[in-house]
Amino acid sequence: MSGNTVTQYPDRYAIEPMTDLEVYKIGLEAIITLQPSTGYVSVSCPHHDELNGCHWWSARGDESLHTFLCSLNRSYAMDKLFCPNALNEFDLESSVASLKRDTIERRRAGELTSEEARDLWDQADCCENAENIADISDGHGNAYWEHIRYSPKPCAIWFWDSVWSAFIDHLRSIQGAQS
């Protein structure tokens, strides 16, 4: 079978090899595959399951895929490439701090009695997970799930700051050499 042969299976999908692929190995950490003509980007990271993903950036205007990737911010790129929920973890400290700030503000505004504020404060101090925050209630029917906070997992920060940064530096060097 030649390299560009299209195989047709009855009642199945046509199978054809992909061309115009660029494959980059970043240390022992990841493999990033690009298909500049279509905007396809794939990341494979053997050490972190949550850092395996792909996305097709087909609507990037007149920009080359390399230029486009160099312009992306962390939130947008990571949310497109990977499952955002898998890259974040519950942040107990930030959640409790948010709930306590709200309790202080509501007490100062006269929306809570000192007893109600003390009760909320004590409930916040007993929280261990997101469900505990979501279960907090007061006598006024207020729910406190909006105080649940998430932070990027260390592996997501590491990927962006180390692996993706090295990859983008490489793409910029390629662009500079082509100019």
Q: Is 82 inside a domain boundary?
A: yes
The whole-angstrom separation of Cα 161 and Cα 137 is 39
Asked if 148 and 85 count as a contact pair (C-beta separation under 8 A), the reply is no
Helices (H) and strands (E) in the chain, counts: 8, 6
pLDDT value for 138: 79
What is the extent of the structural domain holding 170?
22-87+153-178
The predicted structure's pLDDT at residue 150: 94
Whether 37 contacts 53, CB under 8 Å: no
Q: Are residues 162 and 82 in the same domain?
A: yes
Q: How many CB atoms lie within 10 A of CB 131?
A: 11
Q: Specify whether 165 is located in the same domain as 144.
A: no
Which H or E element spans position 157? helix 154-158
Contacts (Cβ under 8 Å, ≥6 apart) of 139 = 116
CB crowding 40-58: b at 16 or more within 10 Å, else e: bbbbebeebebbbbeeebe
Same domain for 116 and 59 = no
Q: What is the pLDDT of residue 104?
A: 96
Is the Cβ–Cβ distance between 120 and 112 less than 8 Å? yes
Residues 31 and 82 in one domain: yes
Return averaged pLDDT per consecutive 10 residues of the chain, 179 residues in all.
60 79 95 95 95 93 94 95 92 97 95 93 95 87 89 95 96 81
Please tell me whether residues 26 and 83 are part of one structural domain.
yes
Q: What is the DSSP letter of 28?
A: T
Q: Is residue 78 part of a domain?
A: yes
CA 109, CA 104: separation in Å to the nearest integer?
A: 9
Domains contained in the chain, number:
2
pTM more than 0.85: no
